[in-house]
Amino acid sequence: MKTYRDRKRRVLGQHFLNSPGVLKKIVEAVAPAADDLVVEIGPGKGAMTFLLAERAGRVVAIEKDSEMLPFLKEKAVPNLTIIEGDVLDCDFAGLLSTYGEPHQKAILAGNLPYSISTPLLFKLLEDRAEFARCVFLVQKEVAERICARPGCKAYSPLSILLQIRFAAAIRFAVHPGSFTPPPRVESALVTLDARPEPLVPIANEQRFVKFLKSAFRQRRKTLWNNLAAAGWPAAAMERAFAEHELAASIRPEQVEIAKFASLLDRLGH
* Amino acid at site 80: L
- CA-CA distances (angstroms) from residue 152 to 67, 104, 198, 252? 41, 36, 22, 10
* Each residue's pLDDT expressed in tens, for the chain with a length of 269 residues: 444 344 444 444 578 999 999 999 999 999 999 999 999 999 999 999 999 999 999 999 999 999 999 999 988 899 999 999 999 999 999 999 999 999 999 999 999 988 899 999 999 999 999 999 999 999 999 999 999 999 999 999 999 999 999 999 999 999 999 999 999 999 999 999 999 999 999 989 999 999 999 999 998 899 999 999 999 999 999 999 999 999 999 999 999 999 999 999 998 75
Rg (CA), the chain: 21
Phi, psi torsion values for 51, nearest 5 degrees:
-65, -40
Burial class (CB in 10 A: 0-12, 13-18, 19+), 11: exposed
CA 189, distance to chain mean position in Å, is: 11
Residue ranges of E strands in 16-92: 16-17, 37-41, 58-63, 80-84
CA distance 234 to 267: 10
Q: Which residues contact 119 (CB under 8 A, 6 or more apart)?
A: 88
- Spell out the domains of the chain, with CATH numbers in brackets: 4-194 (3.40.50.150), 205-267 (1.10.8.100)
- CA-CA distances (angstroms) from residue 59 to 106, 133, 145? 10, 14, 28
Tell me which DSSP letter residue 151 carries.
T
Tell me which DSSP letter residue 76 carries.
-
**Per residue in 55-94, pLDDT tens?**
999 999 999 999 999 999 988 899 999 999 999 999 999 9
- CA-CA distances (angstroms) from residue 63 to 43, 85, 113, 117, 249? 6, 6, 12, 15, 47
pTM of the complete model? 0.91
Residue ranges of E strands in the chain: 16-17, 37-41, 58-63, 80-84, 106-111, 131-139, 166-174, 179-180, 187-194
